[in-house]
Amino acid sequence: MAKACQQCIRLVEGLGVDGDAHSGATVKHRSRVRQAPSQPNLRQVHLIHAELHDELRVKGFEIAPGQMGENITTRGIDLLALPKGTVLHIGDEAIVEVTGLRNPCAQLDGLYPGLMNAVLDRDAEGSLVRKAGIMGVVLKSGTVKRNDPITVRLPKKPFEKLDRV
């Protein structure tokens, strides 16, 4: 699951991250392939906010970028608050559309026992909050380099809240 930090990655329109196990126009995650292998891949790119790594560190989990399977680690963008359909312009070329929340799985406990529960929370109403990042699809190919700027373009209102994909 862990991905080594790279100086740059290549996003490929309609497929995802070049060379990534989840790259493809149709689903690649094992459980989703079993359900319906021809369904569109809404999980081409996984983004996590570095603030989650900070929060986990305080709880005793030493998590490095890429260790939870994310392709891109951000800082200063409230990824979890973005609405579905938000468009992210990353670097000079790449464009990613946000499709939903990453649904954390038990593989996280293989990194550290209890990590899966640490990336789940409850809001004031008692609803489950998934904090393990967001997923997106590549709208335009491009190379993404470390420290590239990310411009956020919100969709038209009314906004649709992110759900797990």
Q: Would residue 85 count as lying in a domain? A: yes
Q: Would residue 53 count as lying in a domain? A: yes
Residue 24 has pLDDT above 90, yes or no: yes
Which residue's structure tokens are 């929370």? 121
**Each residue's pLDDT tens digit, 99-154:** 999 999 889 999 999 999 999 999 999 999 999 999 999 999 999 999 999 999 99
- Give burial (CB, 10 Å; 0-12/13-18/19+) of 81: exposed
Residue 58 has pLDDT above 80, yes or no: yes
Number of domains in the chain: 1
Q: Would residue 161 count as lying in a domain? A: no
Q: Would residue 81 count as lying in a domain? A: yes
Beta bridge partners of 136: 45, 98
Q: Would residue 164 count as lying in a domain? A: no
Q: Would residue 116 count as lying in a domain? A: yes
Q: What is the pLDDT of residue 124?
A: 94
Q: What is the pLDDT of residue 29?
A: 77
Q: Would residue 148 count as lying in a domain? A: yes
Q: What is the pTM of this model?
A: 0.95
Domain extent for 122: 8-153
Q: Would residue 78 count as lying in a domain? A: yes
**Each residue's pLDDT tens digit, 26-52:** 988 777 788 888 999 999 999 999 999
Query: CATH number, domain at 143?
Result: 2.40.33.20
Cα separation of 154 and 63, whole Å?
30
